[in-house]
Structure 1
Amino acid sequence: MSDGSSIDSLVAILRAEVARLAPGDRLPSSRDLIGRHGVGPVTVSRAIALLAAEGVLVTRPGSGTYVAVRRSTATAPDTSWQAVALAGRQLDPGEPTVEVPPGTVALSGGYLHESLQPTRALGAALARAARRPDAWHRAPAAGLAPLRTVFARQLGGDVGPEDVLVTGGGQGALSMLFRATVAPGSPVLVESPTYPGALAAARAAGLRPVPVPMDADGLRPDLLADAFAMTGARLLYCQPTFHNPTGTVLSDARRAQVVDVARAAGAFLIEDDFARHLGHGRPVPRPLVADDRDGTVIHLTSLTKPASPSLRIGAVTARGPVMRRLLGMRRVDDFFIARPLQEAAVELLSTPAWDRHLRALAAALQHRCTTLAAALSRTLPDWTLTTVPAGGLHLWVQLPSHLDESALADATRTAGVSIDPGHPFFPAEPPGAYRRLNFGAAADPGELAEAARRLAAAGGPRTGP
């Protein structure tokens, strides 16, 4: 039995025992619990610590462990007053985090399955970082110099470490960028569809997302110029490389055009480069910021997608007064990013293990992508796959018009498959019914084929007669 399961089992036993006791009653000693349940002293210590953290037990050094006073539930708290206090402050929650029930094949969310994460390399990096004598010192507001240098080197061009600000992942950086670049009430141009978390962050900053259509080559520069002219916007948010959710890559011919259109409008362009390390083995396009010398492009990247959701380390690259403003906001928001996590990121990115992980990840994602695309083609031929992406984590499919979306969502849950609905990805009315499927979230490629089979077996609930 693993240590984790032994602790969980003992916690359950002690919880049941506490339920039969009165507040203030003393539990058996640790020695008695070890002998009675056949577990080690570490298991007992951790089980008691967990229950003490929950407020179930109280430990008194030198005296013993006692049942804590139970919280009264006779009168439910009344928080109805908050409806008035919060009026007019409703926030868009963005992309929901949904717990996947046991037995469900996960094709939802935006992260890698644990089996694809470099957990061993992460653990080793964190252990090495913790042994540094200055690991717990205050970090510079802009981030550790070695980490900024690594991020700058990855971008190429003449980007230097002085242009890089280390952030706590990508989502917090988006919130900061939307607040730093334009005033509340301003329009922000976005691709349609786009990342729901960006829409939520923009709306939380008081901005008005305005959709700009895409096609197979990405954002349309002609319609982008029209949108700037019509709205007077001074900010564009886009994902030129392995766009979420469609997987589209902005074509070579359009990359310079999009930057030129933004520059002509006197606008910033936020380049969300979340998938730079999620290519499927082919060369990844050069980031827009590498060829921008005038500070039009603000580049954003993160380590959470290729490594782990809990490696909350990202980087913003910007030039000119906007970087000084971002540093000012850092001193207001959080002062600096936790140094041990930054040190761990430096350790991870500076070892051969990171390069090996990226190569293995590219091969695994390419195999999973083609596996799921082929399975959908066989089992659900009337679901239209917009593209087979060369990078990223997702397939974007359009549903046939005869399907009842609500009934399909219920049938999908019943079938034991979690997928993301398409409507939250649109800043305005969606042009059709879509679903996003994460081929990186399942445990293995076999689950992807099983998910397609379950979706087909769930049937296609039809609209109309």
Structure 2
Amino acid sequence: MDWRPDRTAKKAIYKQIADYIEGGIGSGEFPADSLLPSERTLAALLQVNRSTVISAYEELQSLGIVERKKGSGTRVSTDIWGVAHKRMPNWGRYMEDGSLMPNGPLVQRIRSEAEKTTVINLASGELAPSLFPNEEFQQILRKTPFNEHLGYDHPQGNRELREVICAHMKKEKQIDVHPDSILVTSGAQQALHLIIRCLLKPGDVIAVEDPSYCLSLPIFQSAGFKVCSLPVDEHGVKPDDIRAFHQKNKLRMLFLNPDHQNPTGAVLSHERRKEILALSYELGIPIIEDDPYSLTTYNGKVHPTLKSMDGNGNVLYVSSLSKIAASGLRVGWMIGPPQVVQRLADAKQQIDFGHSIVPQWLAKEFLGSATFEDHMMRLRVQLENQKHAMTSSLQKSFGEKISFLVPQGGIHLWFPLPNPVDEYQLLDRAIQKGVAFVPGSIMGSYKGYVRFTYGRQEPEAIREGVRRFAEAFHDTCRNEK
């Protein structure tokens, strides 16, 4: 055996060994039912630890390529080609080699556990079913005939919906926009994916807020970007930090969530908004404004968006109905220069041939109805009540040991833990007690922090969830002493 593993490669040595043996089986070097070298022999030949060989053999065994029996060694499977002489692909390797990285194991676990009926979900960033405009939707479905064409629609989205979005943007956000400058997307998430895939390339330097929802998205790492983190305080990111990062790294794009930022709840100050726009004009850096929450401001006052202040076309604006109506409707939109919108519409058409007409029709009727404002007034009142249930419960459970920015809109609360604890153990303990949350490290570099979402649960469940979390925290502290 002349082959040796490459110790400078990123791939684990045991996986290299497994790949080599699998290749040898495919080429006939190791025939079916042949005995492979013993663990000790192969370890000596390859100059690796025996445990590394064991891991390689276990990998091959899990794929059905080899059979292992104590006292008899490791043999190539007698049915390696199957009864029909067809070999099964190594799906595990295909999944590892895909270009889009999976969500981290912590994120996957939170999502799987949070959906259990026994768990109070303070992790998922969505509205409670009671906050959905179900009655308004039912009225639309009863009273308005659906006469839409059910074939493929315009690549940018249904024209009538885009016209309604124009009126909505003008009324609610003071943004003047033409339907040709709007792309309807499957929520804001798809808009971000299209921007990343179509307007940037591997190696580009981008800047995002820290902490930030964006830092939990594997797509930024999958795309091969260099990500600069901009610290967020109670007034948002600092323009001087943006300039400093650009001088060192030549930023290609800036991602911001100016209103009721996820997760901190911070609102970018008006003065900083003007300074950041001036920087964008000076340096030619495009800004992606992610705006899911500005209409949820509890006093009804909507801060001027960056897009409404942008007289140069530097801001690509992204919003959706997910955080103000229903996440399952999957209707979002992006506003930008027509040539950019057309480029992204072309990419979207390659993915799904355009958005489904049914949710577009329902969104058009809802956004254009008189009941939309009534729904938003009720939503603001209920979200503020749910926020109060969370903040008062945290103060009751922890007193002056924690402090936090009290959000004036949105659905998230961000706070530091009173004492340093292992966040993985804390999450385990919390899930055992029936409550899920998001550890701070998922949202960026902030360990020792927690994000709670109060949009998903009713006040009574929020209070019980905070109580369970406090028990889990105190238990974790005692176990770590």
TM-score by length of 2: 0.75
CA distance in 2, matches of 1:391, 1:384: 20
Alignment CA distance shift 1:112-1:263 (3 Å): same
Q: 1:184 to 1:273 in 2, by over 3 A?
A: same
Number of the residue aligned with 1:451: 465
Q: What is the rounded CA distance, in whole Å, between the counterparts of 2:137 and 2:156 in structure 1?
A: 23
Tell me the CA shift for residue 79 of structure 1: 5.2
Alignment partner, residue 55 of structure 1: none
Does the Cα contact within 8 Å between 1:281 and 1:359 map onto a contact in 2? no
Cα distance in 2 for residues equivalent to 1:333 and 1:410: 38
CA deviation profile, 1:361-392 (whole Å, cap 9, x unmatched): 00000111122101101112366343111111
Alignment of 1:278-297 (within 5 A): 278-297=296-315
**Distance in 1 separating the partners of 2:247 and 2:96:** 35
C-alpha separation in 2, matches of 1:195 and 1:385: 21
- In structure 1, the partner of 2:150 is 136
Are 1:407 and 2:425 matched, yes or no? yes
C-alpha separation between the residues in 1 aligned to 2:300 and 2:283? Answer: 34
Give the direction of change, closer, same or farther, for the CA distance of 1:298–1:419 in structure 2 (3 Å limit).
Answer: same
Report the secondary structure of 2:463's partner residue: helix
1:234 and 2:234 matched: no
The answer on whether the counterparts of 1:399 and 1:434 sit within 8 Å (CA) in structure 2 is: yes
How far 1:192 sits from its partner (Å)?
Answer: 0.5
Amino acid at match of 2:161: L
2:136 & 2:126 partners in 1: Cα distance?
18
Conserved 8 A contact 1:241-1:275: yes
Structure-2 residue corresponding to 1:391: 409
One of 83, 89, 92 as aligned partner of 2:99: 89
User: CA offset at residue 229 of structure 1?
Assistant: 1.6
Q: How far apart in 2 are the matches of 1:440 and 1:200?
A: 24
The superposition leaves residues 105-157 of structure 1 with CA deviations (integer Å, 9 ceiling, x where unpaired) of: 2211111111111122223435666x333341432112222321232232324
User: CA contact under 8 A between 1:301 and 1:316: conserved in structure 2?
Assistant: yes
- Tell me how far apart the structure 1 counterparts of residues 345 and 234 of structure 2 sit (CA, whole Å): 37
Residues 63-108 of structure 1: CA distance to partner in whole angstroms, max 9, x if unpaired?
A: xxxxxxxxxxx9xx95535416743735042754334322322211
Counterpart residue identity of residue 214, structure 1 = V
What SS does structure 1 have at the residue aligned with 2:308?
helix
**Secondary structure of 1:380 counterpart:** helix
Partner of 1:271: 289
Q: Shift in Å at residue 403 of structure 1? A: 2.7
Structure 1 gap segments, 5+ residues each: 1-73
Distance 1:241 1:109 in 2: 19
RMSD (Å), alpha carbons: 2.5
Give the CA deviation at 1:182. 1.7
| TM-score of the aligned structures, taking structure 1 as reference length | 0.77
Q: Report if the CA contact (8 A) 1:383-1:397 is conserved.
A: no
Aligned-pair CA distance for 1:294: 1.6
Kept in 2: contact 1:234–1:265 (CA 8 A): no
Sort the Cα spacing of 1:406 and 1:199 in 2 relative to 1 into closer, same or farther, 3 A: closer
Q: What is the aligned counterpart of 2:178 among 160, 172, 176? A: 160
Q: Quick one: which of 215, 221, 238 aligns to 2:239?
A: 221
**CA 1:84–1:350: 2 relative to 1, 3 Å:** closer
Where do 5+ consecutive residues of structure 2 fail to align? 1-82
Is 2:336 the counterpart of 1:318?
Answer: yes
What residue identity is the alignment partner of 2:270? D
For the pair 1:255 / 2:273, whether they are aligned, the reply is yes
Greater share of residues in helix: 2
Question: Is 1:192 matched up with 2:210?
Answer: yes
CA distance in 1, matches of 2:290, 2:232: 16
What CA distance in whole angstroms lies between the structure 2 residues aligned with 1:354 and 1:300?
20
Deviation at 1:406, TM superposition (A): 2.8
Amino acid at match of 2:150: W
Residues 156, 290 of structure 1: 8 Å contact kept: yes
Query: Within 1, Cα distance between the matches of 2:243 and 2:142?
Result: 50
1:125 and 2:140 equivalent?
yes
After TM superposition, the runs of 4+ consecutive aligned structure 1 residues lying more than 4 A away are: 126-129
1:145 aligns with 2:159: yes
Percent of aligned positions that are identical: 28
Task: Give the paired residue count.
Answer: 386
Report the Cα distance in structure 2 between the residues aligned to 1:301 and 1:116, rounded to whole angstroms. 19
Q: 1:380 to 1:341 in 2, by over 3 A?
A: same
Cα 1:85/1:110, change in 2 over 3 Å:
closer
Cα distance between partner residues in 1 of 2:215 and 2:134? 26
Deviation string 1:141-198 (CA, Å, 9 cap, x unpaired) is 1222232123223232432323211111111111001122222221111000111477
Paired letter, 2:163: T
Distance 1:382 1:410, change over 3 A: farther
Code of the aligned partner of 1:202 = F
Conserved? CA contact 1:188–1:210, under 8 Å: yes
Pair 1:302–1:458, CA change in 2 (3 A): same
Give the distance between the partners of 2:122 and 2:401, measured in 1 at CA.
16
Offset of 1:220 from its aligned partner?
Answer: 0.9
Q: Contact conserved, 1:385 with 1:396, CA < 8 A, in 2?
A: no
- Matched residues in 2 for 1:134 and 1:407: separation? 53
Whole-Å Cα distance in 1 between the matches of residues 422 and 200 of structure 2?
Answer: 40
